């Protein structure tokens, strides 16, 4: 069997986001988690934990997005000093 694109799910402090998925997508997500468990010989990860690395991989491999991103600087929150000056 070919290697899966996702192999491990890193722990990270999450930001809560509610997403509604079609039942078929959720079933595929669950099947993917089970495949990761079989391939790694460990317990399958929680299906929801796959969403972030899948989105990250998708964006990382989207050439048009990467090109657009290089042309647009990232938005960063104002530092405490800048907030005090603007307020």
Q: Which domain holds residue 53?
A: 36-65
In this prediction, residue 9 carries a pLDDT of 72
Is 50 inside a domain boundary?
yes
Is 60 inside a domain boundary?
yes
CB 7 within 8 A of CB 40: yes
Distance CA 72, CA 1 (A): 40
Domain count, the chain: 1
Query: pLDDT tens across 55-70, in order?
Result: 999 998 988 888 888 8
Kindly give, in sequence order, each residue whose CB lies less than 8 Å from that of residue 12, ignoring residues fewer than 6 positions away: 52
In this prediction, residue 74 carries a pLDDT of 63
Q: For residue 1, what pLDDT band results from cuts at 50, 70 and 90? A: low
Is 25 inside a domain boundary?
no
Distance CA 18, CA 49 (A): 13
Is 79 inside a domain boundary?
no
Secondary structure E strands in the chain: none
Residue 6 predicted with pLDDT over 90: no
Place of tokens 């993917």: 32
Kindly give, in sequence order, each residue whose CB lies less than 8 Å from that of residue 4, ignoring residues fewer than 6 positions away: 32, 35, 36, 39
């Amino acid at each position: 069997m070919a290697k899966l694109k996702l192999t491990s799910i890193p722990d990270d402090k999450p930001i809560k986001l509610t997403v509604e998925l079609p039942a078929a997508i959720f079933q595929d997500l669950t099947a993917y988690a089970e495949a990761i468990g079989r391939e790694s010989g460990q317990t399958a990860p929680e299906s929801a934990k796959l969403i972030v690395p899948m989105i990250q991989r998708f964006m990382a491999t989207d050439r048009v997005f990467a090109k657009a991103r290089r042309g647009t600087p990232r938005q960063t929150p104002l530092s405490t000093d800048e907030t005090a000056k603007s307020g």
